[in-house]
């Protein structure tokens, strides 16, 4: 694998690490961000073993690793400040690497399968209120110093809130990915290269069309839809800064982020009577359990309203 990261390990183990990462990129077609995360987690584990053993770990160590060493690694990560979410990702990455070794008939320790995932507190998504989401879109249109930039930002916000896209999915769109006028289906390629269809509301289609006609450069089929002032693809960081600027201007909470607009899409659909299976498909969730969390958000919203307005709640 070109430019493969160097791991704190013997050459035989380093080689397998490189082949694994190349497979994640070429065969599994995982995003560079995901592959980089897996590589970082594995590197941390091997660096720990290097210190723990007083020598570079070898491929043979993967077959003889005791459960106590794996627990010691997680304990060391915890002491360094890692939270349960990060530890779970580390365990997931190690198991992925171990499964790769098994597929290539390389012996691995059963300890990897016995290691339990660290428990993490269950946190509910924090959606943006409908009025606040619409106010952000309006402010983007009316408050921008450069008109076409405001139209671009409004188009992006519309896709996140009105289509439930991840910000990476929206920013990854090229002109050729957009449906022609009159076609209301947008095909999105999301996580794990999974494709889904998202209805494109006429108002969103029109907002994007207005932006692309107002922008000071042409749009070839291979060009990105969302472009910066110099014509390059808009970055996730730029999108986050744009949302942060709007929320500060409107006095909204710090939890108002690009991803929170996706949460709003799901929560508001559910509140309007949408069924979980349909919302699962629209969001591109592999597991229904990932979508079911929005039922808890909806229930919490109902409890909040009850506590605020019901006479008996005020008396208690």
* Active site members: 166, 191, 259, 262, 285, 294
- At residue 174, what are phi and psi to the nearest 5 degrees? -105, 165
Could you give the CA distance from residue 266 to residue 164 in angstroms, rounded to a whole number?
7
Query: Is residue 204 helix, strand or coil?
Result: helix
315 C-beta neighbours (distance < 10 Å), count: 6
- Are the CB atoms for 225 and 174 separated by under 8 Å? yes
Query: Is residue 176 helix, strand or coil?
Result: helix
Query: Is residue 134 helix, strand or coil?
Result: helix
Give the H or E element holding residue 237: helix 236-250
- Are the CB atoms for 89 and 45 separated by under 8 Å? no
Helical residues (DSSP H) of 164-273, grouped into ranges: 167-171, 202-214, 236-250, 258-271
CA torsion 256-260-265-267 (nearest 10°) is -100
Number of H helices, E strands in the chain: 15, 2
Candidates 16, 3, 113, 111; CA nearest to 57 is 16
- Are the CB atoms for 266 and 283 separated by under 8 Å? yes
């Amino acid at each position: 694998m070109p430019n493969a990261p160097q791991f704190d390990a013997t050459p035989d183990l380093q080689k397998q690490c490189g082949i694994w990462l190349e497979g994640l990129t070429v065969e599994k077609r995982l995003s560079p961000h995901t592959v980089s995360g897996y590589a970082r987690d594995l590197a941390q584990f091997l660096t720990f073993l290097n210190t723990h053993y007083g020598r570079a770990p070898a491929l043979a160590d993967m077959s003889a690793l005791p459960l106590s060493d794996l627990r010691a690694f997680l304990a060391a990560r915890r002491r360094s400040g890692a939270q349960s979410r990060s530890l779970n990702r580390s365990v997931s990455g190690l198991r992925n690497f171990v499964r790769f070794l098994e597929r290539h008939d390389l012996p691995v320790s059963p300890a990897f399968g016995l290691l339990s995932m660290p428990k993490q507190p269950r946190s509910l998504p924090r959606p943006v209120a409908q009025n606040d989401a619409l106010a952000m879109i309006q402010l983007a249109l009316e408050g921008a110093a450069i008109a076409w930039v405001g139209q671009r930002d409004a188009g992006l916000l519309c896709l996140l809130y009105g289509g439930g896209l991840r910000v990476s999915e929206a920013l990854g769109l090229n002109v050729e990915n957009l449906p022609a006028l009159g076609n209301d289906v947008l095909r999105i390629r999301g996580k794990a290269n999974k494709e889904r269809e998202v209805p494109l509301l006429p108002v969103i289609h029109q907002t994007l069309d207005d932006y692309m006609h107002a922008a000071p450069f042409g749009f070839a089929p291979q060009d990105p839809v969302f472009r910066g002032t110099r014509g390059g693809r808009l970055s996730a960081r730029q999108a986050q800064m744009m949302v942060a600027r709007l929320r500060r201007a409107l006095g909204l909470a710090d939890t108002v982020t690009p991803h929170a607009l996706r949460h709003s899409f799901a929560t508001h659909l559910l509140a309007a009577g949408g069924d979980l299976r349909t919302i699962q498909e629209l969001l591109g969730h592999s597991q229904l359990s990932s979508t079911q969390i929005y039922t808890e958000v909806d229930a919490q919203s109902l409890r909040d309203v009850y506590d605020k307005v019901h006479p008996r709640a005020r008396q208690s």
